[in-house]
Structures are given as C-alpha cells and as structure tokens.
Amino acid sequence: MIAGGSFLPGPVAVHPEVLAAMARPMISHRSPEMHHIMRRLQDRLRPLFRTTRPVLLGTCSATGYMELAARSAGAKLLAVDGGYFGWRFGAVAESCGVEVVRLMVPPGEVVTPDLLQDALDAHFPDAVSFVHSETATGALCDLGALARTVREHSDALVLVDAVTSVGGSAVETDAWGLDFVFTGSQKALGLPPGLALGVASERLVARARALPARGWYLDVVKHLEAAERHEPTQTPALPLVYALDHQLDRIARLGGVEGRWAHHRALQAVLYRWVNENPGWSFLAPSGARSMTVSALRPPRGLPTREVLRLMAARGYTLTGGLGELADAVVRVGHMGDITPVELSMMLSALAELRVVAQR
Amino acid sequence: MIAGGSFLPGPVAVHPEVLAAMARPMISHRSPEMHHIMRRLQDRLRPLFRTTRPVLLGTCSATGYMELAARSAGAKLLAVDGGYFGWRFGAVAESCGVEVVRLMVPPGEVVTPDLLQDALDAHFPDAVSFVHSETATGALCDLGALARTVREHSDALVLVDAVTSVGGSAVETDAWGLDFVFTGSQKALGLPPGLALGVASERLVARARALPARGWYLDVVKHLEAAERHEPTQTPALPLVYALDHQLDRIARLGGVEGRWAHHRALQAVLYRWVNENPGWSFLAPSGARSMTVSALRPPRGLPTREVLRLMAARGYTLTGGLGELADAVVRVGHMGDITPVELSMMLSALAELRVVAQR
C-alpha cells in the first residue's frame, strides 16, 4: 500500500479497473450495441435512485442537470441556501430567467420543516430547491420530511441536488416523492466526472411540457424520451458510459446500493472515531445532520486550514478547504467512492500528526 | 493489420495511445495542475482554429455548443438548411425561443452567395447559421465567401457548425471573420465524444452580454471567462481532457494543423480514385463542394444502401446510411481522424467486391 492519495469531495479517485474500462473501442451511438448498453444501465440505475421511473443520463457536469431542473419547474423558485451549492441552485435558476426567493440557512446547519413551511406560505413558489448533502459544509438535511412538508403545504415541485448523496446514503426518490433528483458521476459512484444522472417525476415532466423555450441540450422532455427508448440524448461521452457500465456491475457484485451505503457508513465511522480521539478537531455540521460522504472539519486552534492543506500535500495527500466565506474556516474531507477504510485511516493518521507538529 | 473497422462519420475510431491517456488519475479541477493543462491546451487549440482568440472548451456534445451559439445571437436567425445538421441548427434555436427563417438548399448542394444575399435582404436576421461540412450529405460550402457576403450586406453574426471541418480542412476563424465556430471531439480530431470546442468573436460576446436569460451551463460569457483564466467552466470530463491533451501533442508532432489537413487530403484522394475506378458509385455532393472528411456516396443501381451496410458489417466494416429522407439513398463514409490511407483502401477494396457479387 502506498501512502498518499486524493480525499477531495470530488472528483474522487477512480478504481484502476474502472479507468481501464474506458479504453474500449468507439461504437455508433445509434447502434444496437449502444441500445443494449443503455438498457442494461437502466436496469441497474433504477435501484440506485430507488425508483421505477427511467433514469436520465446526460453528458454534462451535475450543474447541467441543475439547469435542466431549473428550466422545468416554472416561474418562481424557493431556493434553500445553506452553502455554496444551495446558492448555486438559485443562481442557475436566475440565469434562466426564473424568479428566485432564497431561504437562508446558517452554514453547516439544515432547514427545519417549520421554517420551510413559513417560507412556502409567504412566497407560493412553483418549486423548491434543496441540496440533500451540502458538499460545501457537510450538512445532510432530512429530505424525506422536507419533501413531505412541501407536498402537504403547496403544489410546488421538489428539486434536489443529491450530488453527494446518491450512492452514499439513502435517497428514496419514489417514497419521498421527489420531482427531480440528480447526481454527478464523480462522487459516491466513484467515476470520472462528465456524466449527470437524474430522475424526473411525471408531474415535473407534465409541467415542463407546458413551458416554452426549454432549450434542447438540457430539455428534460428530450432526456426522458431518450431514456425511455434506451438511447442517449446526443452523442454521449462513450468512455464515461463504459466506465459507468463497469462500475454499476462492480456495485451490483458488492451488495448493490445497500452495500454501497454500508461502505460509506463504514468510512464515516472511521472519521467519527478519529474526530472523537483528536480533540481540537470538530465537525461544522451538527450531530444528526451530517453527510455520509463529505465532512467539513474545523481544525484545532493554531493550525490554520491553509497550513493543514500544505502539510498534507507534502505528505502526498490532497484535501481541500472551504468554499467562499468558509475557505479558511474548515478542511473538507471526501470519504466517498472506492477509497477503503484503511486508506482513510492512513490519511487520518497523517492528519493527527500535524497537530502534534504544530503544537510543539 | 486486421481487416475491418469503423468508418463512421463519428464517433471515429480512436488511436490506442489516446485511449490509454484517459486512464491518468483524477485531479481537482481547481488545482494548479489543471490550470497548467488548460494553458497548454489553449496554446495548441488556437492554431487549430486559426485564431488569436481564446478557444472555449465544454463538457457536452457539439450540439451543446450549437445551443450556446443560438442563445448568444439575438432574436432572429436565418438558418441555411442543406441537410440534417442545417435543419438541427434551426431547430435548436427555435427550442430556445429564437425566431427562425430557413434558407433551404437541395440535399448535397451548397448555398451560393447570391441566394444568401437575397435572403439577407428579405429577412434582416440577427444571425445566420451555416454548416461548413454537412455531415449528412458530404457537402462543403465556401465558408469564406459566404461569411464575406453576410458581412458586406448586414450586421448579422456568422454562426458555424464546423463539426466535421475543424482539423479536417481549412477553417480560418479570424481571416473569415466567423463569430462563433465550433466542433466536437469525436470527428477529425480523432478523440472520443464528450467535448465541444469553439471560438466566439468579441462582437458575439458583446451581443450576448446584452441578452437576458442566457442560462448557465451553455452561457458563452461564462465559457469565455473560464478560457481566459485557463480554467474549466464546470467540473470537466477529465479523461477526455487528458485525451485531448495527448492528441494535440500528437498532432503537433505530426506537422500541426497543416499536417492534419494534408492527412485528410490524402484520405480523400484515396476515395476519389476509388470512385473514379468503380463506375456505378458517385458522390452526392458536386465536384468543388465536397467535404474532406465525410462522403455520401450513391451506390450502384441494384445494390441498395441497406444491403451495402449489411454485407460490409459481415466483413467487419461499420459504415452508415443517410439521415432522414436520404436514409436509403446513400452510403456515408467517414474518412477522418486517425485512420490511415491503407486502412481506407482495404475497406474500399471490400466495398468494390460487393458490386461484383451483386451483379453476378
């Protein structure tokens, strides 16, 4: 085993077997072979999202599907904003001409159903955007309860950035009644970046059909119709499709989506124990509302974020700081994808040593 | 040498060295290493487009950049439509709420400056869309003369789908005064699909800035600003960026963009000689207006397109038919990317034998 490695909250390190799968020869995106691959992907992607609906697949970053959601949902969006990606959902919608009202949440915290209900009653939005696991803060909201609140108090659509939760912890698309939920390939799925995956409810698609000027490349109707025909929407990034095909096979062999959640629980447990054993370090997000895949840790007094990143880089480890105003306040650790508990433990051992060095 | 192979007009076969380059480890898209790669790509992409402007890079199919162009150009588009991709440019613009007037050209033919001038005088468009090399018909228009006509008779922007011409034959972005010109990775550049490349004029960017609701993922202003900072717009498809980096190095070593044009001239010469030597076969596009990278060939009487495709597939060769109403009228041969004249000759020998078999 080699010490060092990337613990970024994406793009995550990719298993060598998955990297190798990309080198297969190109095929026509209109061939029977492509159709066969797309059908196989459908069968394996549905359980990942816990849905019976078709899973949409796009050649774009997750931001592309954020825009697809924003273009599908009507004139007024309530954006729950508890960090960079919550902010971004609103900003993307604004860039598409949608009126955006923000429900601000302090960094690291999550919105409560009560606050959400007040905002719904005050603003009557056409849709509400959530970030399930806020990659900027490591906070995980109670999406099931929040979606229920929206449904009980309005007919707004529920749009969910689940970029660092799908494959990392439970995302119950059908049971929670989510109208659009999406992720990117380079997070808990352990793939290179470049593909977005999502599920759209019938309700969302019906509403989208009535909206003019949805565009072409990120039109949910085109993406749904392609998925139903087991075809890509446009010429897809074939090497990434091959990698996805291989990785879904690996995930199926390793216990399916529940095995994947258990893997991420094991990684999170390693980190929890380490934080308990290393006073001075603490989670930004409160107990009970923490992401299974990414943690923002406050470093001990006297050990600035930048110094942590620099010293860890010298040891071969790639970590990152916060985003925006949190830049120097936290160290972010991605504990997702195909890294093992042992690899995570080794990185944390190196992190623990920094504290000793700094305090001398 | 193994007989057989893909002669699709994209996705083209990719050189094994380029496929292997994709398997490098993931890095942060915000790292100094990424910045270094993006800077190196800029230096090598500018000569390919014959421009001093920044070259934009997006994780999407070329259709994504078609939409980016359509969203940047104003309220009314004159779409020159001489085949499937000419039609599509107009359809994409319509999907974005742009008013589209079509200038229809018979399949296989190209628009003349005179006809273009009449249409400009009749419709006063904000922009005109061209397909330089129409992949559906193998026709290559005289883009330099057409762009000059637009400039002399209007202040409309010149938008160019150069998907099967960049890297295949001369595209003089600056000298011809093109306002937006784009290609995809999976054509003459010989890469897997998933990346779009383009150049935007100052004039187009200024006009785009004044337009509301351009969106986020395909906003030309964001793509330009990212290119100027040597950053990707969003998390990019890293394996494809690695492949592009490697392939641009290969192209530079093999004589640069002019070497690439010479390679495609050599491939086209092989096909020309073959058509001359095989009566019954003919080009759909007239002499003097033929693509350097893709040809639509009418098969001999008594040898239907479908039969050609079936018999060639049995010999290990992948070709394709026409698109839309041309489906059964032509056989399309991609002669681009990294295939060699010898490989093309071998495929054509197999194609020549079909004729003999069918006539017995």
Note the pLDDT tens digit of each residue in B208-240.
999 988 999 999 999 999 999 999 999 999 999
Contact between A92 and A115 under an 8 Å Cβ cutoff? The reply is no
Q: What is the pLDDT of residues B174-206, one digit of tens each?
A: 999 999 999 999 999 999 999 999 999 999 999
What does the alpha-carbon distance between residue A45 and residue A30 come to, in Å, rounded to a whole number? 21
pLDDT of residue B153: 94
Place of tokens 């623990």: A352
Query: Residue B59: closest CA among chain A residues belongs to which residue?
Result: A60
Contacts of B242 (CB under 8 A, 6+ apart): B21, B22, B24
* Interhelix angle B32-49/B238-253, nearest 10 degrees: 50
Across residues B78-90, what is the average pLDDT?
A: 98
Residues A158-192 as b/e (b if ≥16 CB within 10 A, e otherwise) read bbbbbbbbbbbbbbebeebebbbbbbbbbbbbbbb
ipTM above 0.85, yes or no: yes
Min Cα–Cα distance to chain A from B209, Å: 12
Query: Residue A59: closest CA among chain B residues belongs to which residue?
Result: B60
Min Cα–Cα distance to chain B from A174, Å: 28
- Selected for mutation to probe chain B from A8, A33, A61 (highest B CB count within 10 Å) is A61
Q: Do A239 and B239 touch (CB under 8 A)?
A: yes
Min Cα–Cα distance to chain A from B295, Å: 17
Contact between B260 and B251 under an 8 Å Cβ cutoff? The reply is yes
DSSP-based three-state secondary structure for A154 = coil
Q: Identify the CA nearest to B184 among candidates B173, B172, B196.
A: B196
What does the alpha-carbon distance between residue A234 and residue B10 come to, in Å, rounded to a whole number? 12
Q: Kind and range of the H or E element at A180?
A: strand A180-184
Positive or negative: CA dihedral A141, A147, A149, A150: positive
pLDDT of residue A2: 58
Please give the sequence-ordered ranges of beta strands (E in DSSP) within chain B, or none if there are none. Answer: 5-6, 56-59, 76-81, 99-104, 127-131, 133-134, 139-140, 157-161, 180-184, 195-200, 282-283, 294-298, 317-318, 320-321, 331-334
What does the alpha-carbon distance between residue B2 and residue B224 come to, in Å, rounded to a whole number? 44
Q: Which residues partner with B288 through β-bridges?
A: none
- Inter-CA distances, A198 with A42, A75, A99, A121, A140, Å: 11, 21, 23, 29, 19
Please give the distance of CA B108 from its chain centroid, rounded to a whole number: 16
- Inter-CA distances, A123 with A75, A78, A86, A148, A314, Å: 12, 8, 18, 18, 50
Query: Residue A317: closest CA among chain B residues belongs to which residue?
Result: B27
Give chain B positions within 8 Å (CB) of A196. none
Contact between A319 and A332 under an 8 Å Cβ cutoff? The reply is yes
pLDDT tens for chain A, residues 1 to 360:
457 899 999 899 999 999 999 999 999 998 999 999 999 999 999 999 999 999 999 999 999 999 999 999 999 999 999 999 999 999 999 999 999 999 999 999 999 999 999 999 999 999 999 999 999 999 999 999 999 999 999 999 999 999 999 999 999 999 999 999 999 999 999 999 999 999 999 999 999 999 988 999 999 999 999 999 999 999 999 999 999 999 999 999 999 999 999 999 999 999 999 999 999 999 999 999 999 999 999 999 999 999 999 999 999 999 999 998 899 999 999 999 999 999 999 999 999 999 655 554
Give chain B positions within 8 Å (CB) of A30. 320
Q: Do A235 and B186 touch (CB under 8 A)?
A: yes
Q: Identify the CA nearest to A337 among candidates A198, A195, A186, A137.
A: A186
**B321 has pLDDT over 60:** yes
3-state secondary structure B154-176: CCCEEEEECCCCCCCCCCCCCCC
Number of helical H runs and strand E runs in chain B: 12, 15
**B139 has pLDDT over 60:** yes
pLDDT of residue B12: 94
Q: Which residues partner with B103 through β-bridges?
A: B80
What does the alpha-carbon distance between residue B290 and residue B294 come to, in Å, rounded to a whole number? 8
Q: Do B215 and A64 touch (CB under 8 A)?
A: no
**B334 has pLDDT over 70:** yes
Q: Kind and range of the H or E element at B113?
A: helix B113-123
Place of tokens 């290119």: B227
Query: Residue B16: closest CA among chain A residues belongs to which residue?
Result: A23
- Peptide bond just before B106 cis, omega within 30 deg: no
Contact between A153 and A117 under an 8 Å Cβ cutoff? The reply is yes
pLDDT of residue A179: 98
Neighbours of B358 (CB within 10 A): 17
Backbone angles phi, psi at B358, to 5 degrees: -70, -30
- Inter-CA distances, A350 with A13, A276, A335, Å: 19, 16, 15
Q: Which residues partner with A68 through β-bridges?
A: none
- Inter-CA distances, B92 with A75, B133, B206, Å: 22, 18, 22
Q: Identify the CA nearest to A306 among candidates A329, A283, A334.
A: A329
- Inter-CA distances, A87 with A74, A80, A286, Å: 18, 8, 20
Q: Do A193 and B14 touch (CB under 8 A)?
A: no
What does the alpha-carbon distance between residue B335 and residue B283 come to, in Å, rounded to a whole number? 14
Length of chain B: 360
Of A71, A194, A212, the CB nearest to B240: A194
Min Cα–Cα distance to chain B from A91, Å: 9
Give chain A positions within 8 Å (CB) of B223. none
- Selected for mutation to probe chain A from B18, B61, B98 (highest A CB count within 10 Å) is B61
What does the alpha-carbon distance between residue B125 and residue B359 come to, in Å, rounded to a whole number? 51
Contact between B323 and B8 under an 8 Å Cβ cutoff? The reply is no
Place of tokens 């007989």: B3
Min Cα–Cα distance to chain B from A305, Å: 16
Positive or negative: CA dihedral B257, B259, B260, B261: positive
pTM of the model: 0.96
Length of chain A: 360
- Selected for mutation to probe chain B from A98, A217, A222, A238 (highest B CB count within 10 Å) is A217
Of B63, B217, B318, the CB nearest to A234: B63
Contact between B54 and B228 under an 8 Å Cβ cutoff? The reply is yes
Two tokens, residue A156: 């707004």
Name the residue type at position A35: H
